[in-house]
Chain A
Amino acid sequence: MCMRNGAVFCAAVLIAVSPAFAQAPQFGQPIAPADIAPWDISIGPDGAGLPAGRGSAKQGEAVYAAKCRACHGENGVGRPNDALVGGAGTITSEQPAVKTVGSYWPYATTLFDFIRRAMPWNETKSLSNDEVYALSAYILQLNGIIGADDVLDAQSLPKVKMPNGDGFVPFPR
């Protein structure tokens, strides 16, 4: 439409209507944080987002036997799926690295986050928060990181010091 002798007219129209375009179209619906809560499952390394609940390794052992052992093996040794224990000393040596929760994972909070969102594989998001705390404790205890009677909850889990916690550096470029 804006051609030749119409150009001046078109420019005038654009100036006239431009205030109407100052506000971009918006189609998002406001939602209250409380209504997002069921989806808000990310746990930060400082423990942000950890729910109420608690569990110990002793309690976790029974949950592991029922829900995890078929894929991750007796005592977390792995097979047919990933090993959850072992590999200590393989990360910092020249030998092949065996990356497990104990040897490689830098944060215990990641364990809670991942179990709650993604495990057990065939029935995800089915565990109670107590069960997830207990399983996290059991796997950490299998790796010798905490004791069998230590209780994990929103306060204690972020304080667990992982053996490879200082193992990561930023990519240099």
Chain B
Amino acid sequence: MSRKRKGMEPLGEAAAGNGMLSRRIFLEAAALAGVAGIGASQAGAEPLPVASWMKEPGAALTGYGQPSKYEKATRAVPAPANPGTLGIGTARTPIQLLDGMITPNGLHFDRSHSGTPDIDPDQHRLVIHGLVKRPLVFTMEALARYHRESRIAFLECAGNSGALYAPQAQALNAPAIHGLVSCAEWTGVRLATLLDEAGVDPAAKWIVAEGADAAAMSRSFPLAKAMDDALLCLYQNGEKVRPANGYPLRLLLPGFEGNMNVKWLRRLKLVDAPVMSKDETSKYTILLRDGKAWQFVFPMEVKSVITRPSPGLALKGPDFYEISGLAWSGKGRIRQVEVSADGGKSWAAAALQEPVLPKAVTRFRAAWQWNGGPAVLQSRATDDTGMVQPSRAQFVAERGLRGAYHYSAIASWRIDEKGEASNVYA
């Protein structure tokens, strides 16, 4: 049963307008529980029955675990424009139904241009060539013999949140707008190790990465990124990389737009200049108002999104609620996230959940006393380079609404009197 505390005292110290409370409540809640009545129901609970599953043996053991049948979190897969070309499109992470920072492998977002190839790892090869002293080829077995390391990193499609470029706000939920971001622990071999083995020619400045999918998707990226933190990934959250995410080998360029993290990696060619592939000219460039387009926009800039509440997750009446979401920056760590319940007029600092890692998502939580009146929820992230997530007005003033990619402005959920959330521009 829910508590009804109309006209009640807020549970915590006010931190901003329209019911935003200090994040200190999360530290104090444990001490207060049972004293001030946080989480306690005023009416008595029903007597506790012994459930049927405690009276008979459970299911047999299985080889590969699955979620409970009561859980419905699946990826949203919008219908393709052309049913004849299945495999072009997206599968979107249900970010509003997940918590923590790690995306389960079956729910990691997927954007592909020509379907998921069925690759036999024994036949797959990686070749490194071009401006190197010794062109080399690697079997997957050979790659597995190198020293491996892991890092937790987000991947975000450059087209994520692109729906917010629309001039009018559309009736879409969190995954439909923001579901092309996921975060996993990736394990593999540092690309720099293999480049050292091949011997980089001083003339090399860029690398062309190419997948083994039907489209042989290819992108150029700077050699400096390869030497900095690029990882050739064999494992995703502890198990082999999933086919939709690049099995058996995926390039990870931490913080860079998703498309550059080439899946099904088969070839790395060192060159002196970018090859100007289709996906770095006709796509993934940001068209500005004056007709010029930004090219080579690599890091995903600082951004955050509230996942709860969000459309489809209605509030159950005026009460205390935790607002939760994700923040990330392709340039480093999240330093701060602020949350507003009054459309950005005032802001309260959110609690950042550890670990707060560079180029990974950070889970944030804020405390809110909803009084049942209208509210517009927003989150604003700042990274450790000092970059602050811009308002929609600031963002549009800089680049207009023609960009299609890299939308990173503050997003808004309006809460109506019924507690329903909807996408609005504010």
B121-144 interface bits toward A, Cβ cutoff 8 Å, 1 = contact, 0 = none? 000000111000011111000110
Is B215 close to A, CB under 8 A? yes
Check if B142 sits within 8 Å of A42, measured CB to CB: no
A125 to B214, CA, bound (A): 8
Q: Specify which chain A residues have a CB less than 8 angstroms from the CB of B266 in the assembled complex.
A: 39
A84-124 interface bits toward B, Cβ cutoff 8 Å, 1 = contact, 0 = none? 00000001111011010100111101100110011001101
Check if B277 sits within 8 Å of A29, measured CB to CB: no
Check if B275 sits within 8 Å of A30, measured CB to CB: no
Known A27-B138, A91-B291; judge A168-B285 contact (CB<8 A). yes
Is B269 close to A, CB under 8 A? yes
Is A26 close to B, CB under 8 A? yes
Is A169 close to B, CB under 8 A? yes
The closest CB in chain B to the CB of A116 belongs to B216
Is A167 close to B, CB under 8 A? yes
The closest CB in chain A to the CB of B402 belongs to A97
Is A32 close to B, CB under 8 A? yes
The closest CB in chain A to the CB of B385 belongs to A173
Is A151 close to B, CB under 8 A? no
The closest CB in chain B to the CB of A101 belongs to B282
Chain A interface size, under 10 / 10 to 19 / 20 to 34 / 35 or more? 35 or more
Is B326 close to A, CB under 8 A? no
Q: Specify which chain B residues have a CB less than 8 angstroms from the CB of A117 in the assembled complex.
A: 215-216, 218
Is B273 close to A, CB under 8 A? yes
A115-157 interface bits toward B, Cβ cutoff 8 Å, 1 = contact, 0 = none? 0011001101100000000000000000000000000000000
Q: B81 contacts which of A81, A105, A118 (Cβ < 8 Å)?
A: A81
Q: A171 contacts which of B142, B146, B210, B295 (Cβ < 8 Å)?
A: B295
B203-239 interface bits toward A, Cβ cutoff 8 Å, 1 = contact, 0 = none? 0000010100011111000000000000000000000
Is A53 close to B, CB under 8 A? no
The closest CB in chain A to the CB of B136 belongs to A28
How far, in Å, is A94 (CB) from chain B's closest CB?
A: 7
Q: Specify which chain B residues have a CB less than 8 angstroms from the CB of A91 in the assembled complex.
A: 287, 291
Is A160 close to B, CB under 8 A? no
The closest CB in chain A to the CB of B198 belongs to A28
Known A36-B127, A107-B281, A167-B291; judge A80-B84 contact (CB<8 A). yes
A71 to B84, CA, bound (A): 9
The closest CB in chain B to the CB of A106 belongs to B281
Label chain A's interface by main secondary structure: loop
How far, in Å, is A167 (CB) from chain B's closest CB?
A: 6
The closest CB in chain A to the CB of B289 belongs to A94
Check if B138 sits within 8 Å of A28, measured CB to CB: yes
Check if B114 sits within 8 Å of A118, measured CB to CB: yes
The closest CB in chain B to the CB of A70 belongs to B84
The closest CB in chain B to the CB of A107 belongs to B276
How far, in Å, is B390 (CB) from chain A's closest CB?
A: 12
A42 to B279, CA, bound (A): 13
Check if A31 sits within 8 Å of B295, measured CB to CB: no
Q: B277 contacts which of A70, A80, A113, A122 (Cβ < 8 Å)?
A: A113
How far, in Å, is A49 (CB) from chain B's closest CB?
A: 8
Check if A170 sits within 8 Å of B196, measured CB to CB: no
Check if B143 sits within 8 Å of A27, measured CB to CB: yes
Known A93-B291, A124-B214, A169-B292; judge A43-B134 contact (CB<8 A). no
Check if B275 sits within 8 Å of A118, measured CB to CB: no
How far, in Å, is A86 (CB) from chain B's closest CB?
A: 14
Q: Which of B137, B138, B193, B276 has the most chain A CB atoms inside 10 A of its CB?
A: B276
Check if A43 sits within 8 Å of B136, measured CB to CB: no
A124 to B135, CA, bound (A): 26
Is B194 close to A, CB under 8 A? yes
The 4 tightest CB contacts between A and B, nearest first, are A92-B291, A28-B136, A80-B82, A118-B215
Name 20 interchain pairs, CB-CB below 8 A, sorted by A. Answer: A24-B196, A24-B197, A29-B138, A29-B142, A30-B136, A31-B137, A36-B135, A36-B137, A42-B218, A45-B276, A91-B287, A105-B282, A114-B277, A167-B292, A167-B293, A168-B292, A169-B292, A171-B296, A171-B297, A171-B298
Q: A167-B293, A168-B293 are in contact. List 6 more A-B contacts (CB 8 A).
A: A27-B143, A28-B134, A36-B135, A41-B210, A42-B277, A168-B281
Which A residues are within 8 Å of any B CB, using their own CB? 24-33, 36, 39-45, 70-71, 80-81, 91-94, 96-97, 99, 101, 104-107, 109-110, 113-114, 117-118, 121-122, 124-125, 167-172
